[in-house]
Amino acid sequence: MKHLAKKRFGQNFLTDQAVIQSLVDAISPQPDDLMVEIGPGLGALTQPLLTKMNALHVVEIDRDIIAWMQNTYAASKVHIHHSDVLKFDFTTIGERIRVVGNLPYNISSPILFHLLDNVAGIIDMHFMLQKEVVERMVASPSTAAYGRLSVMLQYHLHMEYLITVPPEAFNPAPKVESAFVRCVPREHLPFVAQDTALFAKVVMAAFGQRRKTLRNTLKGLLDDAGFAQLEIDSQLRAENLSVAQFVAIANFLA
Ligand code: SAM
């Protein structure tokens, strides 16, 4: 199909067949998997996935692409959901789903947070994202890339940086390098926040001004006695705390 890539929808289509094959190998689709692809575009991943699967769900916002897909794929093979992924209710697909996608980079963090709301029903997720975002997702404490995204995702997910992908693998080529990541929801959380909203609030406050000490960023939430009881140095910054320590603070406050 003749299709002009739309910048507002973050359309950078994968064209490198060797890269596409390595992504599909990493996903390892099985015939009966209940799989959802976010942003199928012109089918760069959809097509090779379908050769190994009985059927696939896709969520796409672009009406031109939807029309093309309806003409291209049998309705029994590709279940098309014309929707903004940020408004899409993944529980409508089923209870144990796999999620894949070369995501629109402009809304990648909101998509990840939206999926966290449905994490209980997800088996695994494989995403192409901006390399810098994947580095933040998997970052360890006390590194420059470690931040709110790392803590919030690592709380729920085990993540693996899989493949670095150069701009030339796409058309049009994005300005940045990309990376493919695997995310698997933790079956048993190693540290359980009693109040996940409070946990999120603490993490947000601590990283709100990441150059400031915890004593400053958590003022009003945690006093010196609290820091002492938790055995956390209030002169540290958010980037120095492990996920376990953020959970400990939230549970202390709860
Ligand atoms: N999967 C294709 C590929 O790899 O060539 C296309 C990937 S492209 C980076 C992102 C895709 O997500 C596009 O098809 C775009 O239209 C779609 N998209 C963008 N924003 C979306 C949204 N809010 N909800 C659903 N799909 C969206």
Distance separating alpha carbons of residues 99 and 58, to the nearest angstrom: 10
**In the predicted structure, residue 108 carries a pLDDT above the cut 90:** yes
Does ligand 1 have an atom closer than 6 angstroms to the CB of 29?
no
Would you say the CB of residue 49 lies under 6 angstroms from ligand 1? no
pLDDT digits (tens, 9 = 90+) for 180-193: 999 999 999 989 99
> What integer pLDDT is reported at residue 210 of this predicted model?
87
Place of tokens 């953020």: 246
Average pLDDT of the residues in 186-206: 95
Nearest Cα residue to atom 6 of ligand 1: 41
35 in Cβ contact with 29 (< 8 Å): yes
E strands of 77-148, at which residues?
78-82, 97-102, 122-130
* 85 Cα–ligand 1 center, Å: 9
Mean pLDDT of the 244-252 span: 98
- Provide the sign of the torsion angle of the four alpha carbons 148, 149, 152, 158, taken in this order: negative
Give the model's confidence band at 206: pLDDT under 50 very low, under 70 low, under 90 confident, else very high.
very high
Q: Is 58 in the pocket of ligand 1 (CB under 6 A)?
A: no
Cα(39) to ligand 1 centroid in Å equals 3
Which amino acid is located at 80 in the chain?
I
Q: Is the CB of 14 under 6 A from ligand 1?
A: yes
Sign, CA dihedral 151-152-158-159, equals: negative
In this prediction, residue 2 carries a pLDDT of 79
Residue nearest to atom 2 of ligand 1 (CA): 41
Q: How many residues does the chain have?
A: 254
Mutate which of 19, 61, 82 for ligand 1? The one with the most ligand atoms within 8 Å of its CB, which is 61
Across the range 140-167, mean pLDDT stands at 97
Position 4 scores a pLDDT of 86
C-beta of residue 78 within 8 angstroms of C-beta of residue 46: yes
Q: What is the pLDDT of residue 1?
A: 72
Instruction: From the CA of 15, give the closest atom in ligand 1.
Output: 5
Predicted model pTM: 0.96
Average pLDDT in the 55-71 region? Answer: 97
State the pLDDT confidence band at 118, using cuts at 50, 70 and 90: confident
* 68 CA distance to ligand 1 middle (Å): 14
* CA 238-244-250 angle, 5° bins: 75
Q: Is the pLDDT of residue 174 over 90?
A: yes
| Structural domains present in the chain | 7-185 (3.40.50.150), 196-253 (1.10.8.100)
